[in-house]
Every structure is written in C-alpha cells, then in structure tokens.
Amino acid sequence: MDTTDKSAASPSIASVGEFGLIDRMKRLLGTPETPDVVRGVGDDAAVVRIGGGRVHVVTTDGMIEDEHFDRAFMPMEYLGFKAMSVNVSDIVAMNACPRFAVIALGLPANTTIEAVDALYRGFRNAADAYGVTVVGGDTTKSRLLTLALTIIGEATEDEIVYRDGARPGDALCVTGNVGASKAGLRVLLRERDRLHAEGNSYHVDLDSIQYVVQRHLTPVARLQVIRDWKACGVRPSALVDISDGLASEIHHVCRSSGCGAVIHAASLPIARETRRVADQFSDDPHDYAFFGGEDYELVFTVARDDLDKLDPVSFTVLGEVTAGAGVVQVTPSGSLEPLDAGGWQHFA
C-alpha cells in the first residue's frame, strides 16, 4: 500500500525544486472555474470576490522547526510575532489590509505552558500591531514545532496590485533597507556556534548587533507603507514582498510582467549595522542585500509621475523597468552585469 517509499524508481522533489513543484501543483489542480476567483495560485496571495466590488485576499505560510528557525535562539514570543508578520507581509504585498487569521500549530508534548503562552503573546502583539483578529485555529501534537498561519485580507478589487503589472519606464523601488535580516542570521549562527563551543560561560552580547538581530527575529510587515500610498492616492503598478531575496523578487516581477530592469547597485539601501556585520565576515554587503532574503520589505514599480507624491524617506529608487527582458545591474564600479536571481530555494 506504500506509495511513498520508491526513491529508487521515482526521482525526489529535490530534482525539480520549489518552483518546479509549484508548477506541477498548478497543472494538477487545474485552472479555477469559478468566476469568483480573481487570482489563484502564483502571486503573494489569492484574490476572491466577496461582492460589492470587494475581495478577500488569502495567504498561507508554514514555519517548521530546524528549517525556518532554531528553537535554541528563537524566543517563542518572537516566533509568534514573526509567523504573523511573514503572512501579513503577503497580504500587504497585494496592497490589501489584513483582517483575520487562523493558526494551525503542531506542538511537541514536552513544550512548556510558559513557552506556549509566550508564543500566543507573540501572535497577540502582532495581531494588535496589524489590526488582525485571530478567529480560529487547530492545535495538535507533533515531534517538531510547526506553525501554519492563514491570513485573510480585504480590499476593493481595483486596489489590488499584482506582480505582473510593471511597465517599461516605471521606477523600480524598495521600501526601508535590505540585507539586515541576513546579517542578523549570520551573527546569530556565529553566537550559537560559540555558545556550543565554549559552553554556558560564554556571554552572548547582542547589544552591539541588536538592530540586525531584531530585523531577523521580528521583521515588521510594511502595512503602514500601503496605508500611506492609499492616503496620497498612489497605486503601484507591480508589488511583491521580499521573502526569498531582493534579486529573485525583481526577476519575478520582470518575468511576470514581460519586461526587464536596470538596477543600480550603488543605490541599494543598506543599513550601517548591516555593512558592519558584512565587514566582520569579509562578506560583500551587496550580497546580503540582493540575495539574503527575509527582509519583508516591499519591492514595487510605479509610474514616474507618481514618484513625487510618495514620502521620499520611506523608499529608494533602485532603477527602471525596461521593455527588453532580463535584469542587469550597474555595479558600484560602473560596469554592466546580469543580475543573478539567486534567492532561497527549498529542496535545492
């Protein structure tokens, strides 16, 4: 009866990768037939009509112990906050407002009540911060700590922004700064290794690296940015959040929109703390910025005419959308190079 244990006969999913898997899923599940589905599998979130010109926007994201976090250096309260932020970010990346959440938890039986309370406090803090109501959930035993959150957002149908709307001539922009989450992960892994090597006598000094660690452990979804856009009457032409990496998201937007882009690496917004960590490791901070991932900033394209309406401190223009395909970067030294997609690949 076993259909799974045939590794000799059938190749494993590692050979097709995450995106190959998503393509397969789309094919096997077929095209939605109901007219109420405006957008199904493929963008940051799905869009379904609820009547009166309004839509619900739905996203789900799982976080699994030892893949997405290490319980040893991820306080449970932060984990709850981050799980909510990651999902809210997908709703925000559709230019919609998060409304409701359901939470499916798998908890090891020896999890302490204290730890579960901390996890729920994290959910609660994030829910309050984003105006989300947790309306339901499911809690079950599991050998690994697992979280799967689903968030439902709301918008009018014409407010929704997809990743495929970029037009040649649009400015290509990013909110906040990038690469900080990767820098935070780097130092956390270093401190963990030192702690393992030197034992409990080792004192982890997080103060000097607080900013990047915080960006990694408790990222904040850019809900305020889309509220500001709405207030000033601007609607981007394309929009995604940075979960896998800035470069791979730019590639996504360009491929989906049937265009390309020129990016100026010198304009990458990288925090001073991020540069300092990169220096410590003799890493190139541009690599953190382009390929690090988990920044949960927004990448967006917008008509040049709208740029002046936006608050300039909230974003950086990285370059321009081009009619020709492909993404090229102007390196800090001034040469033109193709920009690698890079980015995090599950199963790779």
Scan residues 98-157 and list those touching a second copy (CB under 8 A): 99-100, 102-107, 109-118, 120-121, 123-124, 127, 133-144, 146, 148, 150, 152
Give the residue, chosen from 269, 297, 309, 347, that forms a contact with a second copy under the rule CB under 8 A. 347
Tokens of 149: 């959150």
Distance CA 66, CA 85 (A): 19
Q: Is residue 168 close enough to count as binding a second copy by CB under 8 A?
A: no
Q: Which residues, 186 to 215, sit near a second copy by CB under 8 A?
A: 204, 206
Task: Read off the DSSP letter of residue 340.
Answer: P
Cβ proximity to a second copy: between 23 and 306 the closer is 23
Tokens of 161: 């922004």
Cβ proximity to a second copy: between 5 and 308 the closer is 5
Cβ proximity to a second copy: between 33 and 305 the closer is 33
Cβ proximity to a second copy: between 53 and 169 the closer is 53
Task: Read off the DSSP letter of residue 93.
Answer: T
Place of tokens 């790779």: 348
Q: Which of 179, 342, 172 is nearest to 262 (CA)?
A: 172
Nearest distance from C-beta of residue 262 to a second copy, angstroms: 32
Q: Which amino acid is at 200?
A: N
Q: Which residues, 19 to 38, sit near a second copy by CB under 8 A?
A: 21-22, 24-25, 28-30, 32-34, 36-37
Q: Is residue 40 close enough to count as binding a second copy by CB under 8 A?
A: yes
Q: Which residues, 292 to 311, sit near a second copy by CB under 8 A?
A: none
Q: Which residues, 70 to 99, sit near a second copy by CB under 8 A?
A: 71-73, 75-77, 99
Nearest distance from C-beta of residue 131 to a second copy, angstroms: 9
Distance CA 223, CA 236 (A): 14
Cβ-in-10-Å burial (0-12, 13-18, 19+) of 77 comes to buried
Tokens of 45: 């979130």
Instruction: Please give the biggest Cα pair distance in the chain.
Output: 64
Q: Which residues, 239 to 278, sit near a second copy by CB under 8 A?
A: none
